[in-house]
Amino acid sequence: MLQQMRSGAASWIAKGLMILLIVSFGAWGIGDYIGGFSGRGDVATVGSAKISQPEFADAYRREVSNLQRRFGSAFTAEQARQLGLDETVLNRLIEDKLYVQVADKLGIMITDAQIREAITNAPAFKGITGQFDRLAYETYLRNEGYTEGMLVVLLRQDLARTQLLGSLFGSITGVPDAMVDTILGYRLERRLAEYFVIDAAKLPAPAAPTDAQIEEYYKANPLAYTAPERRSLAWIAITPQQYTGQMPVSDEELREEYDAHRSAYVTPEKRAIEQVVFATEAEAKAAYDALQKGEDFIAMAARLQKLKAEDVKLGTVTRDELPASIANAVFALPLNTVGEPVTSPFGWHLARVTAIQPGTTKSLDEAKAELRQQIALRKATEGLIKLRQQIDDQIAGGATLEEIATAHKANLNRVVDIDAQGTPPDGKPVENLPKLPAFLTEAFDMDAGGEPRIVDDVNGGFLVLKAVDVKPAALRPLNDVKDSVVAALQQRARSEAAAEAAKQIAERLRAGGDIAKEAAAVGASVQLSAPLSRGGQPAERALSPAVITALFGAKPSEIVTGPAGANAANAIVAKLTRIEPADPAAIARQKDQTAQQLAGGIAQDLVQQYRQTVQKDIGVKIDPAARVRATGL
């Protein structure tokens, strides 16, 4: 629930491994502790704690909304139900209640200072300056439907759980070398195969499907021939930029803004540097003496270090881009002068300055226009919070979208008959659709003709959106899609014919046939694969995952068949020719990372076992009827 904040709140807890310990909420089921409830009360009882219907409904709605923002309007409430999201959310809430009670018994306390640190360091609450931003904080609370008190309670629980698990399992950081070597040996093994592709298009044309077959296929695949839901929408867009011209900015505010960001108006001096680095001070001094006697810098670099002219060019740099030990010396040199040897962790340097770009500072007067725009934009963004509340009150009072647009002198935008991807029936892009990711998600989640809805923009603005009309998804008439159905049936018939041909060829090869002759008989040629990994080899797109899996289950010279990778209608006949053990050097390179991953997996397993033990000791009961009512499933 608080994943957006955790990266900023973890300065005082075990990192890295603990992320693996606390994110797997949905891996355990709830069926073992469904009890006999009346179906009228709380969704669950966890020891002395309750999970009420409103609490569960709110958490479920929030999770669905988060997934819709991530995946777009293609992710629907029905898909959430099919994926068991309600069970995942309930498991998480139960886990929260379990661990909070354990933490209380063990005396684990989260202080107000830790809460304050977590909030102020959370990336989700930082503004463009990288510091805590109150506006970003309030926007997050509004978008997620939290009050400040709710967030503090949830964060306190979250940090207590993390501290609990960290104290128990955070020290699991290593696994035996033999385990790592065995697993990497399995993962990094490579296999090579001879194969050829049976092109389904070159096989005899299949018979035309009968009307009965066409109708049967059409009825069995309704989704393929269903016209998507389409909606007509209307909206107004409110942005901070629309109000910046109305924001007064005083000279005092300009001065304060300039002083607060003075470094942004300073362009540091830059110098083009050539340098040669020597291993010892004696070598550097000898080279310097040669330069003082008239030798050319580039010639010296070639003679002593075998460097070309381009090799000595360090580029144009600022003082901060050089090691501190040599920056002062280099930036004190006159143009086209070689300085005396200076040392750094890399060796002894001889440097020459070949060009100087003086630094500049933009004055307050020069920066006033930019500063005025920044301050006005910030004020406008802050002012939109009040404007948003005004519009929210107008919606609650029954105002129409047209009335809201008129009241705030905003343009009313419209679009007709778009699908969930924003595409109209003619397939041409709609130019004026907002780029806001949540726009289509929210548009296709609204009731047609219902009240307008406010959709927040990550840039500080918002939309007021209304679904004007909805055309539900509908199965297209068979006559309209008959050609597509016939094509699909013929493609399926060709694919089945190719698979059958591959099966027969494989039987002949296993009986002693020649793979080259069999390939030639179907108009193909034998190819040798690149070394294949268990996860597949990008260079071998012709081989499907099914064929690669079969090859890794085969013995040398064994024949396997399966669909082609690039075109699933085609078929593959493959012969395993060689098994290459894992490269010891590759094992060594991946050993540390794999050991960490395995340690994380072991820690996860221990957390699962610990969680089951805690659940058994504390006790959990579920009310199925209350759960169904709370989600509306």
- Say which CATH number the domain at 457 has: 3.10.50
Range 360-374 average pLDDT: 89
Quick check: is 571 in a domain?
yes
Ramachandran quadrant class, 322 (left: phi over 0; alpha: psi -120 to 50; beta: rest): beta
Most confident of 57-71, 182-196, 522-536: 182-196
d(CA 418, CA 19): 41
What percentage of the chain has pLDDT greater than the value 90? 40
Range 512-516 average pLDDT: 94
272 or 37: which leads in pLDDT? 272
Mean of the per-residue pLDDT values for the chain?
A: 84
Confidence of residue 341 (pLDDT cuts 50, 70, 90): very high
Quick check: is 261 in a domain?
no
Q: Which residues contact 570 (CB under 8 A, 6 or more apart)?
A: 197, 198, 199, 200, 495, 498, 563, 564
Confidence of residue 40 (pLDDT cuts 50, 70, 90): low
Quick check: is 183 in a domain?
no
Confidence of residue 338 (pLDDT cuts 50, 70, 90): very high
Which pLDDT does position 22 carry in this prediction? 36
Residue 220 shares a structural domain with residue 165 = no
Residue 8 shares a structural domain with residue 76 = yes
17 or 99: which leads in pLDDT? 99
Which pLDDT does position 413 carry in this prediction? 94
Residue 69 shares a structural domain with residue 158 = yes
Quick check: is 161 in a domain?
yes
Which pLDDT does position 95 carry in this prediction? 85
Quick check: is 370 in a domain?
no
Which pLDDT does position 136 carry in this prediction? 77
In Å, how far are 76, 339, 382 from 82, measured between CA atoms?
10, 72, 41
Structurally, the chain folds into a number of domains equal to 4
Domain stop point among 417, 437, 472: 472
Domain stop point among 358, 389, 416: 358
- Say which CATH number the domain at 607 has: 1.10.4030.10
Residue 142 shares a structural domain with residue 92 = yes
**In which domain, by residue range, is 431 found?**
229-247+376-472
Which pLDDT does position 17 carry in this prediction? 36
Q: Quickly count: other Cβ atoms within 10 Å of residue 70's Cβ.
A: 10
Residue 458 shares a structural domain with residue 484 = no
pLDDT digits (tens, 9 = 90+) for 135-168: 777 777 877 777 888 888 888 888 888 888 777 7
Nearest 5°: CA angle at 160, between 156 and 163? 140
The answer to whether residue 510 scores a pLDDT higher than 90 is yes
The answer to whether residue 441 scores a pLDDT higher than 90 is no
Domain stop point among 297, 325, 358: 358
Quick check: is 178 in a domain?
no
pTM for this entry: 0.50
The answer to whether residue 489 scores a pLDDT higher than 80 is yes
Range 107-117 average pLDDT: 84
452 or 96: which leads in pLDDT? 452
The answer to whether residue 97 scores a pLDDT higher than 90 is no
Place of tokens 């009310």: 623
Q: Which residues contact 616 (CB under 8 A, 6 or more apart)?
A: none
d(CA 40, CA 37): 8
626 or 496: which leads in pLDDT? 496
The answer to whether residue 42 scores a pLDDT higher than 60 is yes
- Say which CATH number the domain at 279 has: 3.10.50.40
Nearest 5°: CA angle at 473, between 467 and 475? 160
58 or 546: which leads in pLDDT? 546
Which pLDDT does position 84 carry in this prediction? 82
In Å, how far are 240, 334, 372, 384, 403 from 243, measured between CA atoms?
6, 51, 13, 9, 20
Confidence of residue 4 (pLDDT cuts 50, 70, 90): very low
Residue 164 shares a structural domain with residue 16 = yes
Which pLDDT does position 35 carry in this prediction? 47
Quick check: is 101 in a domain?
yes
d(CA 574, CA 591): 32
Determine contact, residues 555/144, Cβ cutoff 8 Å.
no
Residue 169 shares a structural domain with residue 212 = no
Determine contact, residues 219/406, Cβ cutoff 8 Å.
no
Nearest Cα neighbor of 466 from 195, 234, 181 is: 234
Residue 48 shares a structural domain with residue 166 = yes
Residue 388 shares a structural domain with residue 347 = no
d(CA 630, CA 244): 44
Quick check: is 21 in a domain?
yes
Range 570-593 average pLDDT: 92
Kind and range of the H or E run holding 500: helix 478-510
Q: What are phi and psi of 505, to 5 degrees?
A: -65, -40
Residue 21 shares a structural domain with residue 64 = yes
Residue 410 shares a structural domain with residue 484 = no
Range 97-108 average pLDDT: 85
Range 191-212 average pLDDT: 92
Residue 217 shares a structural domain with residue 166 = no
Range 530-559 average pLDDT: 85
Confidence of residue 14 (pLDDT cuts 50, 70, 90): very low
Determine contact, residues 444/231, Cβ cutoff 8 Å.
yes
603 or 504: which leads in pLDDT? 504
